[in-house]
Copies of this chain bind each other. A is one copy, B any other.
Amino acid sequence: MSKKSFKELASSNKTETNMTERQINIISAAIEIFSEKGYEATTTAEIARKANVAEGTIFRYYKTKKDLLLAIPAYLIDMSISQVLLDGFNDIFNNKYENFEEFLREVIKNRKNFAYENMTILKVLFQEIPFHPELRRQITDGVILPTSDKVIKIIDKFKERGQIIDMPSTSIINLIISSIFGYFFLRYIVMLELKWDEDKEVDYLVQYIMNGISKNKTMSNEG
């Protein structure tokens, strides 16, 4: 993932946001360093350096260092990164997949691409969630719940088609999310140094989830 991904994404979307280029530089720099060292261990001096602004300039845009952190979810949404995500789901939703596995595979691929490109920002958010209730609220309300709503509808659709086991949709989502999130955490945080056959493991993951939630046993590995 390029170090400029945020800035580039942001720049390309600049017409749709009211952030100045400076502001984007700052928050991009912050996100990157937060993800490397954690919020508390990051100094505003470091952010300023990476953002190519003076230290004082940061505080013109973000009153405090914490505001910089709390601005990240809004930034995520504002920048249409979450739009990309939702669009992806929309596509999936609209591309009436006959088969839930197809859908799931698409989701994971989507998620995977998304995660690859935005590992940094996600890492920061999940890292800091436990210590900042305001942040938690923003993420659940602004990102997770809206997404869940969409997904629940999809799940329900496939349920109606008899492809998915009889279990509350919320629980199903939680289980799927847990698996996916747990997978990425294990892969990119804990087992960082291990060799890992990405494609194969993702196939296993899909197969596992599919088995986990589908009504009829599928031994499919023929992705």
Contact = CB atoms under 8 A, between A and B. Distances in A.
Contacts of A39: 40
Contact of A182 (B180, B214, B216, B217): B180
Interface stretch (A5-13, A21-29, A154-162, A201-209): A201-209
Interface residues of A, number: 49
Nearest to A196: B174
Contact of A174 (B127, B201, B212): B201
A176 B185 CA distance: 13
Contact of A175 (B179, B200, B213): B179
A1 interface: no
**How many copies of this chain?**
4
A183 interface: yes
B167 A178 contact: no
Contact of A189 (B130, B165, B200, B214): B130
Interface string A109-132: 000000000000001001101110
A191 B140 contact: yes
Contact of A185 (B181, B192, B207, B211): B181
Interface of A: 37-41, 123, 126-127, 129-131, 136, 139-140, 144, 165, 167-168, 171, 174-175, 177-183, 185-186, 189-193, 200-201, 204-205, 207-209, 211-214, 216-217, 219
Given A39-B40, A178-B205, 8 more contacts: A38-B40, A127-B130, A130-B189, A165-B211, A171-B204, A177-B182, A182-B183, A211-B212
